[in-house]
Each structure stands twice: as C-alpha cells, then as structure tokens.
Structure 1
Amino acid sequence: MEVGATMGIISLLPATIAIILAFRTRNTVFSLAVAIFIGVLVAGKGLMGFPTILKTSLGTTSFSWILLLELFIGIVIAFFQRTGAIQGFTKIMEDKKLSRKNVQLTAWVMGMFVFFSDYFSPLFVGSTMRSLSDKARISREKLAYIADSTSAPVSVLAPITGWAVFISGLLVGMGPVENAEQAMMVFTRAVPFNFYAIIAVILVGLFAVGVIPDFGPMKKAEKRALEEGKVLRDGAEPLIGEELTDTPSYEGIKTHIFFDFIFPVLIVVTIAIGTFITLKSAKTMEAFLTAAVVLGIIMRIQGVPFNDIMKTAMSGMKGVMPAIIILALSYTINALSKEMGTANYIISVTESWLTPNLLPLITFLIAATISFSTGTSWGTFAIVMPIAAPLAFNFSGNEVTVLVLATVSAVAGGGVFGDHCSPLSDTTILASTGAAADHIDHVKTQIPYALVAAGVAAVVYLIIGFVAV
C-alpha cells in the first residue's frame, strides 16, 4: 500500500474488534488473536496472512529490544524477590507505619522518580509497592493506575528522555527549526502546554490524598479492597506469572537493602541517564542487563548457589511471559493497522476541520484517537506531527508562537492518552503486569480518570486556539 493510502473505514476493524472483545471477554490474548485473524482476511491476505504478519511484525529490532528489556527486568525483579530485597523494602516502609493515603503518595513519587523509562517505571513501582499496597487494602486496579499514570505522562514531560529526543527529532526541518538543538528548544518550551500529561500526573496525587474522591469503576474496586480485603475482584486474572509474585527469599540469606535493591536501581538510573547524556540515546535494555549480571554476582557472594541463581533468572523470564505474549500480539495488530492505513483514514476524515482556531484541539483529538486505536504513542507522533506542526508554522508565519507550542504539545499529549489507557498499549500492559492486576480491570478503572484529564486538556486547547490566533 502506498504512503498515505488507506482501506477506508474497514481499516478500523482490527482495533475495534480487539477493543470490544477485550472488554466483553476479559481475555486480551484471545481478543487480539481474533482481531488479527479477521483483519488479515479482510485485508485479502488469506489464511497464511496470520502467521506471515506475526513473522514480519515480531522479527524486528524494535520488538527484539522490548522482548530483551522485559526479560532482563523480569530477572531483576525475580532477584529482588529471591534476595529478600522487596520484602526488606516493604518491612522498612511498614515500620514507618504509612497510612493508606501515604502508601499511594509514595507510589506516586516513586513513579515520577523513575522518569527515564516508561517501560521500567510501571514494573518497578508495581512490583516494589504491591506488598505494601495489599497490606494497606489498596486495590490492584488503583496501584496499576498510579504506576501507569507516572510512566508515559512523566516521560513525555522530561527533556532528557528518549521521548523528548524522538518528538524533537520530528520537528527538524519544519518552519524555522533547522537542527536538533533548535528542535529540543521548541520541545522544552512546549512542555508547559502538554496539558494532558501534566493533568494526568497531578490527578494521581489529588486522588491519593482524597482531594478528589474516587468515582466510577475505581470507586467500586477501592470499596471492595477496603471493606472486603479483596485487592482483586473474584475471578480476576493478574497479568503476571506466579514466579514474580510468590518467589520466596533464599533461606539463610542476609539481605542488604543497599546492595540487593538500591545499588542495582542506581546502576539502571546511572547507565540510562549517562548514556542519554553522552550518546544521546538511553541504553535502558543494556542498563537492566548490567543490573541483572551485577545482582547475580552479589547473590553468589552472599552464598546463593549458582544453580539457584539461574533457576531464579528463568523464573523471572517466565513471570513476564503473559505480558510479552500480549505485547507481541499488540505489535502485530499495530503493524496490521499500519498496513491497512488506519491512521491515514482517521486523518483524512478530520483534516478539513484543521482551522487555525481549532488546530490545537483537533490535533489533540486526532492524536488521542489514533493512539487509542493503535496502542502506540510514538507511532502516533510520527504520523501526526509532520501534518500538524507544518500547519501551525504556516498559520504563525514560520515563527515559534503559542499556537505552534500548543500544537506540538497537543500531538505529544494526544499520543500519551492512547499509550496511557488503550488495552493495546505496551505501558498499559506493563502497568497491569507490575501491579499484578487484571489487565481489563485496570483499563476499565483507569479510562474514566484519563477521560477527565483529556476533557480538561481539550477545553484548554480550545481556549488557547482562539486566544493565540
């Protein structure tokens, strides 16, 4: 299919089927598989189209990267469990006698601290805070929401992340932006206009302290956890293997919180941020590989047998397999939607509305729709930015005005919306994994909160569109 081509409204079919089935059956793997199978048939690829699309979409560097990243993160978390590090961290926090409110605030702050990776953040926050959260009778859905809302929404606001480099890179050559430095300057100036991400992060704190009371499905989940002690609903299927929830600490090991927990985390943070500064690319996967190796050596020094270390590493890999399977199918349906021209169709039916006054609002809505339908934020950035940003520069006379900054942030915020709450999104999947929550329960409870942030952001973009022009 040629660039810009689309199969029309039929291109929406795979994503629509996947989302509807996921909510109806509560089985994401089944829903994605059916949606892909029907999609390849509708696209005229025949019965062999299903295995073919799997091979082409999964046999890529991008999927290999996230596959290895998840495996190494799984190993590190399993090592945390086996050394007693997470249990020790939980004990320290318990000794502080944190209230239910403060447990949520701790998870919120922790998520913002690990801002450099939207993949690591939800897994780290969920796995380290899960035990403490359960004891405080906080629903797994609420923990998943906190972990999810402090991952991508925070990453897109920080100018020293891969998100910033990618988005700013798309701006080079547009309007007066001639190089990467100028593009990064535009991105940095646009951050205050990323209303969706800012509001999404702030809302977590407001819900945590009770300034805004829980509502909708989340209120029901929290009431169940608080009154019945059920952090999961009856019949829920946590999106994580038992290997990462029931791994006991090694008998006789003397846990050192610094060496077994803090030091490996510092390794990840140092390598990720250090390589970003020096190489302009955060080597997150390499950071976790290093942390896993170092932590394995520390465990051996502490007296854990080599065979036990290897068995624990394999358990960590098995524990993240449920998430990896869904990620693989999500990558596949995203590739299929791209081939069918889903994003091109959405843009084609809305581009006539892109007037100067409505540009920020419509840009935000288009980006949000595409990202929710496809589950990819970066893919949305790559599709929408080359259309919206030149329009904004054209309306502004090739000057970096408020209209331009708002439009750039509208693309970024809209992309994060889908990454934040689509059942097809990788970070949404990882938030369910880290919190050991039922994936669809997480999505259903989080969507109303995401819609509040999106609604407020949309109103502000509408106001800015009329004030700035």
Structure 2
Amino acid sequence: MDTNLGLVSVLPATLAIILAFVTRNTVFSLAVACLVGVLAMGNGLMGFPTLLKETLGTTSFSWILLLELFIGTVIAFFQRTGAVQNFSGWIEKRHLSRIKVQLIGWVMGMFVFFSDYFSPLFVGTTMRNLCDRYKVSREKLAYIADSTSAPVSVLMPITGWAVFISGLLIGMGPIEDAHQAMSVFIHAIPFNLYAWVSVIVVGLVIMGLIPLFGPMKKAERRALEEGKVLRDGAEPLMGEELTDITPYPGAKTSLFLNFFLPVLVVISIAIGTFIVMGSAKTMEAFLGASVVLGIIMRAQGIPLNDIIKTAVSGMKGVMPAIVILALAYSLNQLSKDMGTAQYIVSVTEDWLTPHLLPAMTFMIAAVIAFSTGTSWGTFAIMMPLAVPVAFTLTGDNITPLVYATVAAVAGGGVFGDHCSPLSDTSVLASTGAASDHIDHVKTQIPFALAVAVLTLGLYLIAGFSWL
C-alpha cells in the first residue's frame, strides 16, 4: 500500500542520481538507493530482495525483458550477416559529410516513431560504426538517438503514448469517451513545446546553428582531435558479446534481406497491430523479425548452430542494460510506495494559478519524471491532478488552457524520460550507441535543461498573455 513519508520519500531517487554522477557506476548507485529506501521504510535488509522479487516478477518487466532480448538478437543478426557494415558502406558511397551522417541518424530516429524503445537502439546500433569513422563521439550519437525517441513518440497520435495519455483523460470535464479524449490529445500536440523544441534543437546542434557547450563540446573535441569516440576509462553500456560480433565468413548476404526487410517486418507488425488491435505489439514485432532473419540466415548458408550462438551472444550483450533497467524499475516502485510524487505535488500545489498552471504543471511533472525516471508514471499522477484544475478554471470548457495543461504534463514527463539517469530510454540510448551511460547523461543534460528552461519561459509568457 502506498504511503507518504514526506521529505524522506525523495531520498532514494536523489541518492541514486547523486551517486551515479559521483561514482559513474549506475548499477551500484541504483542498488544502494534501493537498499537505503527499503531501510527507510522499515523493511529491514530482507526488504531489498523482496522489492526485487515483487517488482521484477511482473508482466510489465517480463515484457521489457523479452523486448530487450529480442532486440539484442536482431542486432546480433545484423552484425553477423554484415548488414550494419553493408548499410554503412552504402551510406559511405554517397560521400556524405560528417554533418550529413549525423543528420541521417536524426531523421532515422524520427522515422522509427512508433517505439521509444526500438528507436534509440536502432539508431545507435545502425549508425555507430559510421559515426566512429567520421569521429562523432559516442556521447553525441547517444544524444541524437535519445532526443528522437520519447520526444517524437509523444507527438504522434498513433503510438502507445497517445493511447495511454488520452485514456487518462476520459471522464475529465466534458470528455466522455476515447474519441473525445484523442481529439484533445491531438489538439494539445502543438502545445507540447518541450518535445518539439527538443527534436528541433538536435538538428540545429548537428548543423552547428546552436554551438556545442559543456561536456558535449569536450567530448566532440576529443573525438575530432584525438580520434577517441569514447573517453579513456569509459564503460560502454553494451556487452562485448554484442559489439565484437564479426560477419560470418563467406556468407552471401543482402542489404535488403538482412537489413531493410527485418526493419519492415518490425514496422509492419507494430503499426499493423496498433491499427487493428489498438496497441502496438512491439515485443512481438521483434520476435517476428528475429525469426524471419534467422530463417534468411539459414537459407544463406549460415549453420543453425552459429545462428543460435549469435542469438545468445545478442542476448548476453544487452544484459548490462537489463540489469540497470531491473534496478531502475525497483527504484520506481520504491518511489511509488514511499509517495515521492505525491510529496512533490503537495509542496507545490499552492502555487497553481490560471496564469501559472501550464508552467507549474510542466515543472512539477519534469521534477517527478526526472526523480523517478518514468514518464508514464508521471502522466498517471499528474493528468488527474492538473487537468481537472484546468477544467475548473475554464468552467468545464475545452480551451487552449486545457490543451496547454495536457501538453505540459506530457512534455514534463518526457523531460524526465529523456534525460534522467534512471530512465529506460536513456539507458537504451547509451546501449545502442555503446556509450558510457553517465557520460551520455552528463553531456545531454545541459541541452535538455536549456530546452526545459525555454519551455518554462514560453509557458509563462503564454499563461500571462493569452491563456
């Protein structure tokens, strides 16, 4: 049963974030934070394994576990067939510049909009070798992959994000059914300033229209001047079992069959199931792609034992990410049990006025999401709190204030999902780019914070001018 421990409730998440930056070891930081949290709740030392057992023995974690394993399998197959190398070679024949190579990653991230889990892994894995050749730091690649995942997914009305957010709106004010709720979500899309600006800023940074600063500038200078895409002592968040896979000797592979076709299988199943069933079956899509690609590999002369060994190597390669996700899920559940989000809301609810509502809603949602690393959990908490307030202020009429409030919750949630070291998509961006996770977070946060501050300012201006 959820409780509210007041200020103590923010201790585990805060400790995890601080330790992550100080020690550069995410697993250690999350484990210590979970242990401190269960002790603070009075559950004793046995509370830690109990927390892991209850959190990880769920359908939601089983889903992401299987998803990661199948994605790891597909990535391993890409590498064993030489598909990634073939794609890199195909791009290199176009004699593109360093900027254009990064822009391809930016566009690819927006293209794979249907899954914020697949997008950063796909972009990072596909573009990693190419970016290495053009001396693009792994931190920069992770930033590109991360900033075109959740920020893009939340802007699209045909994703699980849209279904989840609109589902939360049903029953609020005059919103009576799913059709009306989805209409509100669609009308709120232009007001989701954080997501829009985040995606646009990536392109501007790549083109040099926004200059690099902070740790990212240092990382890019290192890559360009020293040829080091990773800093000395960095620990890439991808196992060697996956990064060291070489193409099978003598296999006659095809760029279309071994790369584009599996991607089309994933996209077709994900979007098709969304249209027919109302829910994108992403995990099933990668299972299907794994099977299709395995059959193709066998037809191309790669032995069955080698295919199985490659699949297992792929699964082993994503284990570092799975361990972090497991501990992050446990910390998220712990924060929920301790009433972290409710405490943050309680100390800020008196500030809310009609003019400040979108800005304060965005700020509170951002703090909650960054502290817990979960955007959907933030949506579930903030939508029932902020949107009814907006309807009260508008006399139960659907106005720009309502749209802006819905968008502010969505954007604030994405901020945390986008850059928190506890976030699953941030972990997956580090995994896809094979970047040190904390290096990725440290280089991305200054840009994410700048966008968040700009978004907050725009909501304040809008609130006092025409909302």
State if a TM-score over 0.5 links the two structures. Answer: yes
What residue number does 1:273 align with?
271
| 1:89-128 Cα shifts (integer Å, max 9, x gaps) | 0111111111110011000000000000000000000000
Q: Matched residue of 2:232: which SS? A: coil
Give the alignment of 1:145-160 within 5 angstroms: 145-160=143-158
Q: Which amino acid aligns with 1:334?
A: N
What residue number does 1:461 align with?
459
1: distance between equivalents of 2:462 and 2:257? 50
Of 445, 448, 463, the residue aligned with 1:447 is 445
How large is the RMSD of aligned CA atoms in angstroms? 0.6
Moved more, 8-17 or 91-100: 91-100
2: distance between equivalents of 1:243 and 1:114? 26
Task: Give, in angstroms, the shift of residue 467 of structure 1.
Answer: 2.4
| 1:256-295 Cα shifts (integer Å, max 9, x gaps) | 0111000000000001001101100000000000000010
Q: Which amino acid aligns with 1:179?
A: D
Of 199, 216, 234, the residue aligned with 1:218 is 216
Give the alignment of 1:98-137 within 5 angstroms: 98-137=96-135
1: distance between equivalents of 2:403 and 2:213? 33
2: distance between equivalents of 1:312 and 1:218? 34
What residue number does 2:197 align with?
199
Q: Matched residue of 1:454: which SS? A: helix
What residue number does 1:65 align with?
63
Task: Give, in angstroms, the shift of residue 388 of structure 1.
Answer: 0.2
Q: Matched residue of 1:235: which SS? A: coil
Of 242, 246, 249, the residue aligned with 1:248 is 246
Q: Which amino acid aligns with 2:388?
A: P
- Contact persistence 1:194–1:412 (CA under 8 A): yes
1: distance between equivalents of 2:56 and 2:9? 21
Task: Give, in angstroms, the shift of residue 177 of structure 1.
Answer: 0.5
| Pair 1:353 & 2:351 matched | yes
Q: Which amino acid aligns with 1:392?
A: A
Give the alignment of 1:325-364 within 5 angstroms: 325-364=323-362
Of 381, 397, 414, the residue aligned with 1:383 is 381
Task: Give, in angstroms, the shift of residue 32 of structure 1.
Answer: 0.5
1: distance between equivalents of 2:14 and 2:294? 44
Task: Give, in angstroms, the shift of residue 242 of structure 1.
Answer: 1.1
| Pair 1:180 & 2:165 matched | no
| 1:330-368 Cα shifts (integer Å, max 9, x gaps) | 000000000000000000000011111100000000000
Q: Matched residue of 1:252: which SS? A: coil
Of 417, 422, 430, the residue aligned with 1:419 is 417
| 1:129-163 Cα shifts (integer Å, max 9, x gaps) | 00000000000000000000000000000000000
Of 6, 11, 14, the residue aligned with 1:13 is 11
Q: Which amino acid aligns with 1:274?
A: G
1: distance between equivalents of 2:73 and 2:465? 52
* TM superposition outliers: structure 1 runs of 4+ over 6 Å: none
Task: Give, in angstroms, the shift of residue 254 of structure 1.
Answer: 1.1
Q: Which amino acid aligns with 2:133?
A: K
What residue number does 1:51 align with?
49
Length-normalised TM-score, structure 2: 0.99
1: distance between equivalents of 2:271 and 2:466? 36
Q: Which amino acid aligns with 2:122?
A: F
2: distance between equivalents of 1:465 and 1:398? 18
2: distance between equivalents of 1:440 and 1:41? 26
What residue number does 1:232 align with?
230
- Contact persistence 1:403–1:464 (CA under 8 A): no
- Contact persistence 1:88–1:255 (CA under 8 A): no
What residue number does 2:314 align with?
316
Task: Give, in angstroms, the shift of residue 64 of structure 1.
Answer: 0.4
2: distance between equivalents of 1:212 and 1:417? 20
Length-normalised TM-score, structure 1: 0.99
1: distance between equivalents of 2:150 and 2:241? 26
| Pair 1:432 & 2:430 matched | yes
Task: Give, in angstroms, the shift of residue 468 of structure 1.
Answer: 3.2
Q: Matched residue of 1:115: which SS? A: coil
How many residue pairs align between the two structures? 467
1: distance between equivalents of 2:259 and 2:195? 29
Q: Matched residue of 1:250: which SS? A: coil
2: distance between equivalents of 1:322 and 1:166? 29
Task: Give, in angstroms, the shift of residue 225 of structure 1.
Answer: 0.2
Q: Which amino acid aligns with 1:235?
A: G
Task: Give, in angstroms, the shift of residue 246 of structure 1.
Answer: 1.3
Task: Give, in angstroms, the shift of residue 463 of structure 1.
Answer: 1.3
- Contact persistence 1:8–1:345 (CA under 8 A): yes
1: distance between equivalents of 2:292 and 2:241? 21
1: distance between equivalents of 2:290 and 2:257? 12
What residue number does 2:35 align with?
37
2: distance between equivalents of 1:189 and 1:246? 47
Of 298, 308, 328, the residue aligned with 2:296 is 298
- Contact persistence 1:104–1:208 (CA under 8 A): yes
What residue number does 2:259 align with?
261
Q: Which amino acid aligns with 2:100?
A: N
- Contact persistence 1:403–1:468 (CA under 8 A): no
Q: Which amino acid aligns with 2:189?
A: V
Of 63, 71, 74, the residue aligned with 2:72 is 74
2: distance between equivalents of 1:286 and 1:369? 33
- Structure 1 residues not aligned, in runs of 5+: none
Task: Give, in angstroms, the shift of residue 399 of structure 1.
Answer: 1.1
Q: Which amino acid aligns with 1:262?
A: F
Task: Give, in angstroms, the shift of residue 452 of structure 1.
Answer: 1.1
